Amino acid sequence: MNSSQKTGFTCWLTGLSGAGKSTLATALSDALVGQQVAHELLDGDVVRTNLSKGLGFSREDRDTNVLRVGFVCSLLNKHSINTIVALISPYEETRAKLRAMLPGFIEIYVNCPLDVCIERDPKGLYRRAIAGEIPEFTGISSPYEPPNSPEIIVSTHQETVEESVDKILNYLSTHCFL
């Protein structure tokens, strides 16, 4: 990489299952395509199937999954490819490691109350977790630690997808990422 190339950024969307991370990540990706911004979208479900197959949901396995994705982001960012990540990433300590690993790390807290996520339940996972069929489910039998100081907070129970994406794009623009 020559000295005139910018290092890429990583928009890391964290939040409970059903909060809207994947929906927002896809809409943000579409907006960046429209602006001809090079990027890669890494969604938690896709990553689990391909990059982290075989990992469970213990704290150690969750941390391994998050840090693997962070490593991939660091490789892409080093070559000026921006990344968008939609991953629950439940632990503040692990997200702090990401922040240290990724110079252009932008933590986006996809805030949505647990009761709204349970009501949405797009994959029927909360129903199964509450029934005890899914052990170590974030927000039910496993903790989620909201970020202490994210760069951006979007509230998907109060904002439209477009409003949330505009908030992210505004941040990227005003902080010279775009």
**CA neighbor of 23 nearest in space, from 118, 146, 144, 162:** 162
Let me know: does 107 contact 95? Beta carbons within 8 Å. yes
Catalytic residue among 58, 74, 80, 89: 89
Distance, CA of 64 to CA of 70 (rounded, Å): 10
| 3-state DSSP assignment of residue 48 | helix
**Which strand ranges, in their side-by-side order, compose the sheet holding 39-43?**
39-43, 82-86, 10-14, 105-111, 152-155
Question: Which residues belong to the annotated binding site?
Answer: 15-22
**What CA–CA distance (Å, rounded) separates 39 from 22?**
15
Q: Specify whether the CB–CB gap between 144 and 89 falls below 8 A.
A: no
The question of whether 58 is a catalytic residue gets the answer no
- Residue positions forming the annotated binding site for ATP: 15-22
**Amino acid letter at 6?**
K
Please state, in angstroms and rounded to a whole number, the distance separating the CA atoms of residues 31 and 37.
Answer: 9
The catalytic residue positions are 89
